[in-house]
């Protein structure tokens, strides 16, 4: 076993690697940017090295800084985690050239799977089924159009060097092909510096099935069964599970054997994931599952595989990198129960899943389930990195029990003032179609209205908020009538009323005698009530507050915390409906705030370079008369 390990990553994957390394007696070295100076992975490692400013391109992606840190601390090996440099063949070679152990596959394996067209040709030669399509060198529009016509519509145009949905277009009919091709090529060139594309048959009811494989340098290769990652939003995974629902033993054997065949074809070593697309229109069938790509690293969703197999995949990685044989043979690996993972993101589903950043003043994760988290209470969600703040993993003897446990766990999440998708996850896990296993990659998109409902706070939420206010200040000043109102009722008890504001709405709440089913808490100046993963925040509203003071009345409210990168107007300007007023930025995403109707800028409370707090009124538009 190697003795010391530098982790060229951050957040929850760095903590995950540290946890296993500590158990095995391996010394760990963390690297960190300015933004991560006080992070958990830095504190938990045996040593830590500062590598630069917050932007990843100036810190975590600078290969020489990582190598210098390893040399300075006497690290023996480098674990890349996932993301960043994990699938960079040049970095893998540089680590080995520096005399260090690379905890990952050979650079040749990374390169073999780096380009989608070359990978599919290789898989075809190895006998692995691939999606019907065109992978040829002729990139003329005429040739590509003819191949699409031959394959039959709908087809999918995909960038050869693509990923994350970039350079990808669905084409439903021949007449749409030319425009879609031009758009895909432009996006591919801008994103990857390579405008080449391939054409695939578009699967109308796709399921995303992936197989965990492991191989060592002694010629051994095994699979650790499959995962289903079909619940996605914008091509990004949201909920993953193992094993795949509806997978029979014959189909499992076919897809898992194909994955092992793929690993052997490229002389793989270490952990890898072979991804397949399945046509689920008639259920999962061996002849309707095709190779899509291979991720030459550990996956975010690896905990569900660990849970059903009882294995520590990071330990397997370290043992293989140390030159040992695989810990178990294929016949010794078994599936026990069912496991699910939900990705808890710092984002606000109510505003189109805009990212949410800022301090974690209140941070409570569910008990009795596995939580792999990157942050803690008192910490901060930075705008510089991925918005995933935790992975919540639950298991049970059956799929239904695993889903129920995970849904309950998501409902117990309490985070403020950063917004999360916990309530959205809970609703997805409780959806009757999800429970029945009727899933595909369009599941979320087709049910968005019921997964992200536009609801007012319930009476239970309002009661909890009002009681929280009274409990926080039971001796409120009687001169402040909106703080606590008491009156006289004929043959009745004195009552207490509290006027609350949530965003731009106000609520007059008469506190009832019965105990509320929910409980709120003061978080800073906010009265926050958590209900099934959703967070409702209230402030005390003055008696003269105007109900409905929001978009309808011209108030332009910040939908997320972020930086004001542009102010397009000034006070007194005349504006038209839809005109851009301000642009906010958070987590490298931009959001433009526009005028709700024709009018004049009555007030402006924002300046370029300033920070906006979620819920703050940044401008007010007076309607044109």
CATH of the domain at 365: 3.30.470.20
Please check whether residue 530 lies inside any domain of the structure. Answer: yes
pLDDT of residue 163: 67
Mean pLDDT is lowest, of 36-40, 199-203, 467-471, 551-555, for 551-555
Please check whether residue 296 lies inside any domain of the structure. Answer: yes
Q: Which residue has the tokens 């390579």?
A: 194
pLDDT of residue 485: 44
Q: DSSP of 485-525, one letter per residue?
A: EEE--TTS--EEEEEEEETTEEEEEEPPSSPPSS-EEEETT
Q: How far is CA 308 from each of CA 82, 100, 399, rounded to the nearest angstrom? A: 21, 33, 12
Q: Which of 515, 540, 565 is the last residue of a domain?
A: 540
**In Å, how far from its chain's centre is CA 226?**
21
Same domain, 334 and 360: yes
What are φ and ψ of residue 534, in 5° steps? -85, 145
Please check whether residue 120 lies inside any domain of the structure. Answer: no
Same domain, 340 and 439: yes
Same domain, 94 and 217: no
Return the closest-CA partner of residue 601 out of 617, 583, 584, 585. 617
Q: Which residue has the tokens 């009687």?
A: 478
Residue 194 exposed, middle or buried by CB count within 10 Å (0-12, 13-18, 19+): middle
Report the pLDDT averaged over residues 214-218. Answer: 97
Please check whether residue 441 lies inside any domain of the structure. Answer: yes
CA angle, 326 as apex, 320 and 329 as ends, to 5°? Answer: 165
Model confidence band, residue 237 (pLDDT cutoffs 50, 70, 90): very high
pLDDT of residue 302: 98
Q: Which of 60, 86, 103 is the last residue of a domain?
A: 103
Please check whether residue 126 lies inside any domain of the structure. Answer: no
Same domain, 437 and 354: yes
Residue 562 has pLDDT above 80, yes or no: no
pLDDT of residue 429: 98
Kindly report the CATH number assigned to the domain that includes residue 516.
Answer: 3.30.700.40
Q: DSSP of 403-467, one letter per residue?
A: HHHHHHHHHT-EEESS--SHHHHHHHHH-HHHHTT---TTHHHHTHHHHS---PPPHHHHHHHHH
Half-sphere exposure of residue 264: CA atoms within 13 angstroms, side-chain side: 16
CA angle, 464 as apex, 523 and 393 as ends, to 5°? Answer: 65
Same domain, 364 and 497: no
For the chain, first and last CA: distance in Å?
Answer: 77
Please check whether residue 546 lies inside any domain of the structure. Answer: no
Token digits for 220? 């051994």
Q: How far apart are CA 582 and CA 487, in angstroms?
A: 45
Return the closest-CA partner of residue 336 out of 298, 304, 372. 304
Q: How far apart are CA 415 and CA 536, in angstroms?
A: 11
pLDDT of residue 618: 92
Q: Which residue has the tokens 């309808």?
A: 552
Token digits for 391? 């992975």
| Residue 64 belongs to domain spanning | 4-103
Tell me the average pLDDT of the chain.
90
pLDDT of residue 459: 92
Q: How far is CA 144 from each of CA 129, 161, 258, 291, 343, rounded to the nearest angstrom? A: 22, 17, 29, 21, 38
Same domain, 528 and 557: no
Contact criterion met (CB below 8 Å) for 103 and 270: yes
* Sheet (strand 617-623) strand order: 555-557, 617-623, 599-604, 574-575
Report the pLDDT averaged over residues 83-97. Answer: 96
Helical H segments across 45-106, by residue range? 63-73, 89-97
Same domain, 275 and 329: yes
Same domain, 587 and 482: no
Q: How many domains does the chain have?
A: 5
Kindly report the CATH number assigned to the domain that includes residue 137.
Answer: 3.30.1490.20
Q: What is residue 336's three-state secondary structure?
A: coil
Catalytic residues: 297
pLDDT of residue 549: 41
Please check whether residue 118 lies inside any domain of the structure. Answer: no
Residue 110 has pLDDT above 80, yes or no: yes
Report the pLDDT averaged over residues 520-525. Answer: 89
Same domain, 365 and 332: yes
Residue 482 has pLDDT above 70, yes or no: no
Same domain, 405 and 263: yes
Contact criterion met (CB below 8 Å) for 343 and 388: yes
Same domain, 296 and 431: yes
Residue 65 has pLDDT above 70, yes or no: yes
Q: How far is CA 63 from each of CA 31, 66, 263, rounded to the nearest angstrom? A: 12, 5, 27
Please check whether residue 374 lies inside any domain of the structure. Answer: yes
Q: Beta strand 47-52 with 27-33: parallel, antiparallel or unpaired?
A: parallel
Q: Which of 201, 226, 241 is the last residue of a domain?
A: 201
Residue 481 has pLDDT above 50, yes or no: no
Kindly report the CATH number assigned to the domain that includes residue 581.
Answer: 2.40.50.100
pLDDT of residue 589: 62
pLDDT of residue 351: 85
Token digits for 44? 């938990």
Contact criterion met (CB below 8 Å) for 596 and 359: no
Return the closest-CA partner of residue 197 out of 214, 217, 215, 177. 177
Return the closest-CA partner of residue 51 out of 21, 12, 10. 10
Helices 313-321 and 11-23, axial angle in degrees (round to 10) = 70
Q: Which among 45-54, 152-161, 585-594 has the top mean pLDDT? A: 45-54
Helical H segments across 193-285, by residue range? 249-265
What is the helix, strand, coil percentage profile of the chain, to 5? 30, 30, 40
Query: Global pTM?
Result: 0.81
Bridge partner list, 371: 392
């Amino acid at each position: 076993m190697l003795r010391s390990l530098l982790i060229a990553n951050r957040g929850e994957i760095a903590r995950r690697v540290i946890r296993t390394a500590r158990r095995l007696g391996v010394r760990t070295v963390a690297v960190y940017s300015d933004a991560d100076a006080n992070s958990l992975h830095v504190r938990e490692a045996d040593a830590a090295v500062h590598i630069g400013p917050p932007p990843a391109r100036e810190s975590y992606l600078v290969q020489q800084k990582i190598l210098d840190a390893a040399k300075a601390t006497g690290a023996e090996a480098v674990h890349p985690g996932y993301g960043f440099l994990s699938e960079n063949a040049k970095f893998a070679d540089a680590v080995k050239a520096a005399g260090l152990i690379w905890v990952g596959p050979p650079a040749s394996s990374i390169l073999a799977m780096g380009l989608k067209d070359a990978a599919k040709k290789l898989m075809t030669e190895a006998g692995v089924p691939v999606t019907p399509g065109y992978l040829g060198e002729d990139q003329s529009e005429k040739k590509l159009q003819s191949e699409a016509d031959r394959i039959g519509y709908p087809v999918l145009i995909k960038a050869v060097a693509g990923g994350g949905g970039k350079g990808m277009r669905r084409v439903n009919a021949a007449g749409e092909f030319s425009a879609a091709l031009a758009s895909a090529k432009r996006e591919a060139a801008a994103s990857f510096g390579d405008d080449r594309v391939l054409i695939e048959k578009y699967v109308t009811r796709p399921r995303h099935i992936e197989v965990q494989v492991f191989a060592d340098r002694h010629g051994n290769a095994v699979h650790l069964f499959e995962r289903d990652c079909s619940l996605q939003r914008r091509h990004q995974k949201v909920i993953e599970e193992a094993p795949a629902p509806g997978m029979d033993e014959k189909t499992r054997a076919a897809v898992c054997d194909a994955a092992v065949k793929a690993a052997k074809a490229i002389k793989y070593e270490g952990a890898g994931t072979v991804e397949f697309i399945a046509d689920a229109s008639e259920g999962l069938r061996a002849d309707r599952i095709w190779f899509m790509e291979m991720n030459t690293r550990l996956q975010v969703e690896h905990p569900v595989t660990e849970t059903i197999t009882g294995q520590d995949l990071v330990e397997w990685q370290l043992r293989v990198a140390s030159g040992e044989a695989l810990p178990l043979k294929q016949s010794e690996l078994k599936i026990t129960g069912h496991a699910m993972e939900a990705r808890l993101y710092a984002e606000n589903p109510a505003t189109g899943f805009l990212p949410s950043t800022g301090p974690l003043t209140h941070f409570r994760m569910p008990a009795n389930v596995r939580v792999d988290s990157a942050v803690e209470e008192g910490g901060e969600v930075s705008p510089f990195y991925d918005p995933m703040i935790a992975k919540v993993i639950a298991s049970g003897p059956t799929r239904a029990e695993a889903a129920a446990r995970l849904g309950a766990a998501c409902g117990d999440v309490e985070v403020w003032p950063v917004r999360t998708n916990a309530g959205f996850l809970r609703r997805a896990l409780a959806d009757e179609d999800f429970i029945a296993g009727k899933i595909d990659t369009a599941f979320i998109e087709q049910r968005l209205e019921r997964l992200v409902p536009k609801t007012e706070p319930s009476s239970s939420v309002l009661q909890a908020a009002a009681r929280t206010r009274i409990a926080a200040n039971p001796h409120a000043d009687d001169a402040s009538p909106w703080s606590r109102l008491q009156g006289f009722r004929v043959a009745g008890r004195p009552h207490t009323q509290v006027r609350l504001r949530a965003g731009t709405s106000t609520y007059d709440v008469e506190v009832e005698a019965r105990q509320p089913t929910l409980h709120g808490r003061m978080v800073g100046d906010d009265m926050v009530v958590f209900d099934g993963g959703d967070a409702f925040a209230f402030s005390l509203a003055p008696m003269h507050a105007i109900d409905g003071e929001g978009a309808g009345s011209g108030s332009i409210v910040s939908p997320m915390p972020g930086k004001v990168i542009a102010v397009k107007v000034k006070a007194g300007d005349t504006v038209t409906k839809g005109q851009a007023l301000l642009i906010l930025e958070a987590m490298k995403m931009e959001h433009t705030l526009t005028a709700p109707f024709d009018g004049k800028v009555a007030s402006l409370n924002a300046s370029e370079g300033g920070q906006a707090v979620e819920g703050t009124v940044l401008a007010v538009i007076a309607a044109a008369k």
